[in-house]
Amino acid sequence: MSTTLEKEIHRRKTFGIISHPDAGKTTLTEKLLLFGGAIQEAGAVKSNKIKKGATSDFMEIERQRGISVATSVLAFEYKGKKINILDTPGHKDFAEDTYRTLTAVDSVIVVIDVAKGVEEQTEKLVEVCRMRNIPMLVFINKLDREGKDAFDLLDEVEQKLGLRVTPLSWPIGIGLDFQGIYNMWEKNLKFFTEEKKQKVGESIEIKDINASVVDELIGNAAAETLRSEQELISSVYPEFSKEEYLRGTLQPVFFGSALNNFGVQELLDAFVEIAPNPFPKMSDIRLVNPEEPTFTGFVFKIHANMDPKHRDRLAFVKVVSGTFRRGTNYLHVRQNKIMKFSSPAAFFADKKEIIDESYPGDIVGLHDTGNFRIGDTLTEGEKLSFKGIPYFSPEHFRFINNEDPMKAKQLAKGIDQLMDEGVAQLFTMEMNGRKVIGTVGALQFEVIQYRLEHEYSAKCSYELVQIHKACWVETEDEKSPEFLEFKRIKQKFLARDKFGQLVFLADSAFSITMTQEKYSSVKLHFTNEF
């Protein structure tokens, strides 16, 4: 292995940020970029006065709603490390995009709102991380607002998320009494010196928390509280161990207020030291190590029309091993065809740049004319594919109708491309060829309608359809009498997905149970992993 490759792998940290909507994830992303020197000012996500908008919110509909609906990729350099952030949508209607993004990260930062504590969306996403043993850091945000007691929050994180936590920074007061952060990782105090609490004061190194200078800085009462809390922490919580964190069995916790730049630098400094470098990844035939000299990578996301002026689609590829080089021939494994890319893009804050080389852990944007779908693998010739990029059974279904007969072609193309992005799933009924769109959340129907109109000049309307769940159908023998009878009896509920696989669109949970009992050789699956 070349020393360059080894060095570049050790510089890379690729992580995702997950949270419930409104916990301050996008704000935290911006502040990390700010501390990394990648952007000059942060766009206030909430304030309409600043029309800049958040750096990581790409699409018009996101700016209107103030939510992130597409995963953005942002990169910056900090202390000699190359950091890649994948900012994921917190909104539950876009959970599927987030689950797939988690297949491309090596670690995760979980953001929790101090007032609301652990919320439902966070629970689901953390469970996915736990199943995959992804190392997690927890950032408890919005400390400048009134919220729950720090110990109560840690209990809640342990109980609801099933995590084993240890604090590495600790708040001095909360809400109106919030004075700053004691950084246990580096043994220093950082506190507000500004009247408006908008700026971070200087950080003061405190080797001994019992020193009288602490009382002078924060007052006797707060100092006493801080000391007794520190004693309690050391007796209740395990000591931080990097090995356990990397195994996914211990989660360090940081406190702060991203909006006020508080506690963000502590989080970043610790992250750079402890977060993992790119991990090996399992393919269908073997484990692929980042240090291997030959390039492999997989598509975890496709985004159409990132630039409204150019009709372009970008396939986001996570580099798993070797070096990706511009203008080199690579094998598109599923299509078994050789492709080369003349202008692969990398992302630095809000800028896209053409790059010559990328290394494991990096995310490369490839211009796509419709060759890619989610889960595709690129290699230097080896026929392997990376597994475990899930499609989930949608929760909401609608028939889609064309509102402008003159624009049938545009509508078909628009639907086709949006489905490749994994925004939603398309099912074509076997009986009459009608098209059904299935989504994880109802908000996606609006997004699809909006994007079809604004990006493809096609108008559509929806019609309700009674479907409870989409179940992918698997059978060992397609000619067996039982399978043929299943197809005949259930024909009006059968459809094909975008990849031609047979899907049973069940109208109720009861119908699924009865079908499984009656046709035992027919297996029904609620996820489809390629």
Per-residue pLDDT tens for 483-501?
999 999 999 999 998 888 8
Mean pLDDT on 313-333:
91
User: Do 471 and 397 have their domain in common?
Assistant: yes
Does the structure show a pLDDT above 70 at 345?
yes
pLDDT over 90, % of the chain: 27
The Cα–Cα gap between 358 and 348 comes to: 13
pLDDT band at 243 (very low <50, low <70, confident <90, very high): very high
Q: Which of 379, 407, 422 is the last residue of a domain?
A: 379
What pLDDT is stored for residue 56 in this prediction? Answer: 47
Cross-strand pairs, 16: 86, 108
User: Do 323 and 348 have their domain in common?
Assistant: yes
Residue 106 located in a structural domain = yes
Residue 522 located in a structural domain = yes
Query: Structural domain tally of the chain?
Result: 3
Of the ranges 126-130, 156-160, 198-202, 351-355, which one carries the lowest mean pLDDT score?
A: 198-202
Here the CATH number for the domain that contains residue 469 is 3.30.70.3280
Per-residue pLDDT tens for 303-320?
765 555 555 678 889 999
324 phi/psi in degrees, rounded to 5? -85, 125
User: Do 75 and 152 have their domain in common?
Assistant: yes
User: Do 475 and 411 have their domain in common?
Assistant: yes
Q: How many of the other CB atoms lie within 10 Å of CB of 121? A: 19
Per-residue pLDDT tens for 359-370?
999 989 888 877
Per-residue pLDDT tens for 276-296?
999 999 888 899 999 999 999
Mean pLDDT on 359-388:
86
Token output for 379: 């290699």
Here the CATH number for the domain that contains residue 62 is 3.40.50.300
Per-residue pLDDT tens for 34-82?
777 655 554 433 333 333 445 444 455 555 544 443 446 778 888 889 8
Torsion angle of the four alpha carbons 431, 437, 442, 444, in this order, in degrees rounded to the nearest 10: -170
Q: Is the pTM of this model over 0.85?
A: no
Does the structure show a pLDDT above 80 at 391?
no
Residue 178 located in a structural domain = no
- The boundaries of the domain holding residue 350 are 281-379
Residue 481 located in a structural domain = yes
The Cα–Cα gap between 52 and 383 comes to: 45
Residue 327 located in a structural domain = yes
State the alpha helices, DSSP H only, in 280-356. none
Stated length of the chain: 530
Amino acid at position 484, single letter = L
Residue 86 located in a structural domain = yes
**Nearest CA to 182 among 213, 212, 153, 214?**
214
Q: How many of the other CB atoms lie within 10 Å of CB of 451? A: 21
Q: Which of 216, 242, 274 is the last residue of a domain?
A: 274
